[in-house]
Structure 1
Amino acid sequence: MKTRITQMLGIRYPIIQGGMMWVGRAELAAAVSNSGGLGIVTALTQPTPEALSAEIARCRALTDKPFGVNLTLLPSINPPPYEQYLDAIIDAGVPVLETAGNNPREYIAKAKAAGLTVIHKCVAVRHALSAERNGVDAVSIDGFECAGHPGEEDIPGLVLIPAAVRRLSIPVIASGGIADGRGLAAALALGAEGVNMGTRFCATREAPIHEAIKQALVNADERDTRLIFRSLRNTARVLRNAISEEVVGLERREGGVAFEELRPLVAGVRGRAALESGAVDDGIITAGQCIGLIDDIPGCAELLERMVAEAREHLQASLARFQN
Structure 2
Amino acid sequence: MKTRITEMLGIKYPIIQGGMQWVGHAELASAVSNAGGLGILTALTQPTPEDLYQEILRCKEMTDLPFGVNLTILPTIKPVPYMEYAEAAIRGGVKIMETAGRSPQDFMPLFKANGVRVIHKCTSVRHALKAERIGCDAVSVDGFECAGHPGEDDVTNMILLPAAAAKLSIPMIASGGIGDAQGLVAALALGAEGINMGTRFVATKEAPVHENVKQAMVDADERQTTLIFRSLNNTARVFRNAIAEQVVEIESRDGKTDFADIQPLVAGARGRANVLEGGDIDDGIWTAGMVIGLINDIPSCQVLLDRMVSEAETIINKRLVGLCG
Partner residue in 1 for 2:56:
56
Partner residue in 2 for 1:283:
284
In the alignment, structure 1 residue 166 sits paired with structure 2 residue 166: yes
Tell me which amino acid in the other structure corresponds to 1:6.
T
Partner residue in 1 for 2:294:
293
Q: Distance in 1 between matches of 2:108 and 2:179?
A: 29
Instruction: Note the 1:113-262 alignment, pairs <5 A.
Output: 113-262=113-262
Q: Under a length normalisation based on structure 2, what TM-score does the superposition of the two structures give?
A: 0.98
Secondary structure at 1:280 match in 2: coil
Q: Deviations over 1:70-100 (max 9, x none)?
A: 0000111322100100110011110100000
1:223 Cα offset (Å): 0.3
User: Structure 2 unaligned runs (5+)?
Assistant: none
Partner residue in 1 for 2:27:
27
Q: Distance in 2 between matches of 1:320 and 1:169?
A: 27
1:316 Cα offset (Å): 1.8
Partner residue in 2 for 1:104:
104
In the alignment, structure 1 residue 322 sits paired with structure 2 residue 323: yes
Tell me which amino acid in the other structure corresponds to 1:305.
D
Q: Distance in 1 between matches of 2:307 and 2:69?
A: 25
The answer to whether the 8 Å contact 1:109/1:135 transfers is no
1:189 Cα offset (Å): 0.7
The percent identity for this pair of structures is: 65
1:134 Cα offset (Å): 0.6
Tell me which amino acid in the other structure corresponds to 1:93.
G
Q: Distance in 1 between matches of 2:52 and 2:128?
A: 27
Tell me which amino acid in the other structure corresponds to 1:276.
E
Give the paired residue count: 324
Q: Distance in 2 between matches of 1:137 and 1:278?
A: 38
User: Structure 1 unaligned runs (5+)?
Assistant: none
In the alignment, structure 1 residue 90 sits paired with structure 2 residue 90: yes
Partner residue in 1 for 2:308:
307
1:320 Cα offset (Å): 3.0
Q: Distance in 1 between matches of 2:257 and 2:189?
A: 43
Secondary structure at 1:75 match in 2: coil
Q: Distance in 1 between matches of 2:154 and 2:108?
A: 27
Secondary structure at 1:97 match in 2: strand
Q: Distance in 2 between matches of 1:243 and 1:301?
A: 34
* RMSD between superposed Cα atoms in Å: 0.8
Q: Distance in 1 between matches of 2:35 and 2:125?
A: 31
1:241 Cα offset (Å): 0.4
1:322 Cα offset (Å): 1.9
Q: Under a length normalisation based on structure 1, what TM-score does the superposition of the two structures give?
A: 0.99
Q: Distance in 2 between matches of 1:28 and 1:203?
A: 11
